[in-house]
Amino acid sequence: MKLAVWKRWLCRVVAGGVLVLPVSAYANVSKPVIDGVWAQGSILRGQLARGDSLYFLDRQVPVSSDGYFVLGLGRDFPETATLTVKTAAGDSTDFQYPVQPREYKIQRVEGVPAKTVNPDPKYLARIREEGAQVAVARKVNSDLQHYRQAFQWPLVGRISGVYGSQRFYNGEPRRPHYGVDVAAPTGTVVRAPADGIVTLSHKGMFFSGGTLIVDHGQGLSSTFMHLSKLLVEDGQEVRQGDKIAEVGATGRATGPHLDWRMNWFDQRVDPTFLVPPMSEVLAEDRAAANQDKSADKTKQVQ
């Protein structure tokens, strides 16, 4: 199944609520049931037989008491992924999955503040400290299972930057872009894409400006960047759709937008694997707006 088609299918399957998966047997070890596409940048959700443990990328994967888990594959993940399942009886089996490669765009961004492209050495200690704070927030391994929800876009609008693109700032090559950018005026409300706990709130980081990180459970987190205003604080519980921040152009930005990123621990993943295509959401919003206008006209005639 093609990547874009699969993503649309998944969003429709889980749109009604929490993801529920069956478990299939494989020899003496139950093969994990995976819901997702094995591709660079992907987010996969799955389930194990009760009591089994799972290993991936040299770590034991967090698994809920009823066997649910989430995984993430980084931007440049190699061509094969290996999951190791171990039973309480001591049986162990490796399951291998081919990983679909992706082609990434090149994006040239001009007019970026020079100090954020080539920072003065006096800012390096600050940059390192802020990077350490972000790393700590993304290491959180909670028992939350909010990753099983049907995620929604935190902001609806024009996509101005995509995951994985190679960035050139003022003509100079820099690290790839690990989020999806949505353009909107400063002050536009940003909403929680799923339930979670705020693990970091910072009003002004050097590169990312106003920054929030929300933990969705078992290593999966969302990061929201370049914010003009934070509406939540560290440790606060948020529900899907809650107002959490406002769009801005803080940090390394040339205009107001939301940079939404997701991580599974240290794997930088693509948020669009968990939401419907933006084009579909915009089309639905336009259709709803037209219906409202028609209803208003009908009332006026009456």
pTM value is 0.86
Q: What is the CATH number of domain 106-282?
A: 2.70.70.10
Nearest to 23 by CA among 49, 54, 58, 53: 49
Q: Rounded distance, CA 81 to CA 96, Å?
A: 6
Return residue ranges of the chain for CATH 2.60.40.
3-98
- Strand, helix or coil at 125? helix
Q: Rounded distance, CA 275 to CA 282, Å?
A: 13
Return residue ranges of the chain for CATH 2.70.70.10.
106-282
β-bridge mates for residue 214, sequence order: 198, 222
Q: What is the CATH number of domain 3-98?
A: 2.60.40
Q: pLDDT 10s digit of each residue in the chain, 302 long?
A: 445 544 544 444 444 455 555 544 445 888 999 999 999 999 999 999 999 999 999 999 999 999 999 999 999 999 999 999 999 999 999 999 999 999 998 877 777 777 777 788 999 999 999 999 999 999 999 999 999 999 999 999 999 999 999 878 777 767 899 999 999 999 999 999 999 999 999 999 999 999 999 999 999 999 999 999 999 999 999 999 999 999 999 998 889 999 999 999 999 999 999 999 999 999 998 888 887 676 666 666 66
Percent helix, strand and coil across the chain, each rounded to 5? 20, 35, 40
Do the beta carbons of residue 69 and residue 56 sit within 8 Å? no
